[in-house]
Amino acid sequence: MTVTLEQLRVPELSLATANDTLLAPYGLELAALEPVFGQIMSHQADYADLYFQYTRSEGWSLEEGKVKSGSFAIDQGVGVRVVAGEKTAFAYSDDISLPALESAARATRAIARQGAQRRAAVARRGVGRELYAPHDPLASLPDTAKVALLERLEGFARAVDPRVKQVIAGLAGEYEVVLVARSDGLTAADVRPLVRLSVQVIAEDGGRREQGSAGGGGRFDYAYFTDDVLRDYAQKAVHQALINLEARPAPAGTMTVVLGPGWPGILLHEAIGHGLEGDFNRKGTSAFSGRIGERVAAPGVTVVDDGTIARRRGSLNVDDEGNPTQCTTLIENGVLKGYIQDSLNARLMGVPVTGNGRRESYAHIPMPRMTNTYMLNGDKDPQEIIKSVKRGLYAVNFGGGQVDIVSGKFVFSAAEAFMIEDGKVTYPVKGATLIGNGPEVLKHVSMIGNDMGLDPGVGTCGKDGQSVPVGVGQPTLKIDGLTVGGTA
């Protein structure tokens, strides 16, 4: 079987960069990939794709005014995937050459010999997006300037308050070029910059030590991190540490909880978002399986996954299967509308793909993953929400947490939280954990703020051993009757 490759309409610069980076140096061109697909698809198979990737990354860490660590890495390779029915065969190589591709093709095509039932794929073909400039962030500053940037960040943090005793600053950048060639005749390319800056401080007062952290990033270069941005990160990190110095032990019990806007959306991501991924629902292992069209949340709750927000950490021009990203409504006014889909699960469920096929690298298979997942605005003023609470917890920032996809049960620790008493935010508390069930929590949302915010660009999501950058967000939320584990 001969497959004629045609270009998915993507920005020409990305396609040219991908060709110059991933094919030309190894004597390859798109036409040379046709025999590889012919070899794979000569057997009974539904679909196959080749995923070429080049990644250059670096990391810098500054502690106590000195460079604590520095790293630089280059990785490249190609993954070959063949799908037949529900079965997937996958092979990868860090050798980008025609013999390596042919060898991987021979290894993966064995799955098709088993005579799996063929089903027509449901795929959307669209125009490639231009959500971010195809810049190389690593080349946007000389190494000395990167260190100087971290030194300024440390200086700003120490200048905020004399109680700051230790500062750790980190800078990371990545330049990624991907090319996807598919057996249905499409190719897609993307050039993906990604940067992140973080600061952690430890403050001490009266023998008590507490920490705070802040940071941000996205799909741009280091020029984003101006002195104004650095000062903002420093002030937020120190503020959190100083708040925690004053914090009292958190009470325990069932109470009203108000979640702040932005980063607290990580609870939404973990407790609800994973349960809306297509693979869990196709297999019937999610608490949301088979519930399309049912009310799963309180009226007013609308949740979307949007991979099309310009320059955001979780955004992509095309996903790792070559499909354009999109904004997918998952829950609308409390009613479950759909799931996050990659090509495999969309085909098996008989629904369109949503542009959520993602993989950590060429050495991993794609799966349905979130991009930027957030809840839309409501109509309440945040202060009105606070005033409505007689006694409760106000969680402004979160640390770690975990969730069981099957049951929806979660546990999250609050990095910054306050008590609400008689409609006023009173004193900070430490050691608060939120315990609940994701689908049930949605039903107990009683007020939704009009201040929806996205996180600053620091999220990384793990699933089945793969990590990918993501974004989260939400407005201020009031949740009635949530279990709080405390230390008091």
Each residue of 355-374: pLDDT tens digit? 999 999 999 999 999 999 99
Evaluate if residue 124 carries a pLDDT over 70: no
Say how far apart CA 163 and CA 121 lie, in whole Å. 61
- State pLDDT tens for residues 278-337: 999 999 999 899 999 999 999 999 999 999 999 999 999 999 999 999 999 999 999 999
- Assign 119 a pLDDT band (cuts: 50, 70, 90): very low
Cβ burial of 9 (10 Å; 0-12, 13-18, 19+) is middle
Distance CA 2, CA 36 (A): 9
Of the pLDDT bands very low, low, confident and very high (cuts 50, 70, 90), residue 250 is very high
Query: In angstroms, rounded to a whole number, what is the distance separating the alpha carbons of residues 41 and 2?
Result: 8
Residue 125 has pLDDT above 50, yes or no: no
Tens of pLDDT, residue by residue over 254-290, are 999 999 999 999 888 988 899 999 999 999 999 899 9
Of the pLDDT bands very low, low, confident and very high (cuts 50, 70, 90), residue 31 is confident
Helices 34-41 and 98-108 pack at an angle, to 10 degrees, of: 10
* Res 404: pLDDT: 81
For residue 193, count other CB atoms closer than 10 A to its CB: 22
Find all residues with CB under 8 Å of 88, minimum gap 6, and list them. 81, 82, 111, 344, 365
Q: Is 61 left (phi over 0), alpha (psi -120 to 50) or beta?
A: beta
Quote the pLDDT of residue 290.
95
Residues 141 and 149 sit within 8 Å (Cβ to Cβ): yes
Helices (H), 200-277: 227-245, 265-268
Backbone angles phi, psi at 469, to 5 degrees: -75, 140
Q: Which amino acid is at 227?
A: D
CB count, 10 Å around CB of 208? Answer: 11
Q: Exposed/middle/buried for 105, CB within 10 Å: 0-12, 13-18, 19+?
A: buried
State mean pLDDT over 214-224. Answer: 97
Whole-prediction pTM value? 0.92
Give me the phi and psi of 236, to 5 degrees please. Answer: -65, -40
What is the overall mean pLDDT for the chain?
91
pLDDT at 179: 96
- Supply the pLDDT for residue 185: 87
pLDDT higher than 70, residue 488: no
Higher pLDDT, 116 or 274: 274
CB–CB of 417/428 below 8 Å?
yes
Residue that wins the pLDDT comparison between 474 and 401: 474
State the Cα–Cα distance between residues 320 and 77, nearest whole angstrom. Answer: 14
Beta bridge partners of 445: 479
Amino acid at 332: E
% of residues, the chain, pLDDT over 90: 78
Average pLDDT over residues 11-26: 89
**Mean pLDDT value of segment 115-125:** 39
Contact, 335 vs 321, CB < 8 A?
no
> Phi and psi at residue 326, in whole multiples of 5°?
-155, 175
Which residues are CB-neighbours of 214 under 8 A, at least 6 positions away?
Answer: 198, 199, 232, 233, 234, 236, 237, 240, 456
pLDDT band, very low/low/confident/very high, at 45 (cuts 50, 70, 90): confident
- Indicate whether 126 pLDDT > 60: no
Of all residues in the chain, what percent carry a pLDDT higher than 70? Answer: 93
pLDDT of 113 reads 55
243: closest CA among 397, 112, 124?
A: 397
How confident is the model over 66-98, as pLDDT tens digits? 999 999 999 999 999 999 888 899 999 999 999
Exposure string for 36-63, b = 16+ CB within 10 A, e = fewer: bbebbbebbbbbbbbbbbbbbbbebbbb
Arithmetic mean of pLDDT, 7-16: 65
The length of the chain is: 488
CA 6 vs CA 185, 186, 220, 435: distances in Å: 5, 5, 30, 51
> And the tokens for 464?
């089945």
Residue type (1 letter), 257: V
Quickly list DSSP for 88-103.
Answer: EEEEEES--SHHHHHH
CB atoms within 10 A of CB 127: 11
- Using the structure block, give the residue that is written with the tokens 């390859």: 28
DSSP assigned state of 324: B
The encoded tokens of residue 432 equal: 């608060």
Letter string b/e over residues 324-351, b meaning 16 or more CB atoms within 10 A of that residue's CB: bbbebebbeebbbbbbbbbbbbbbbeeb
Residue matched to tokens 């009173």: 426
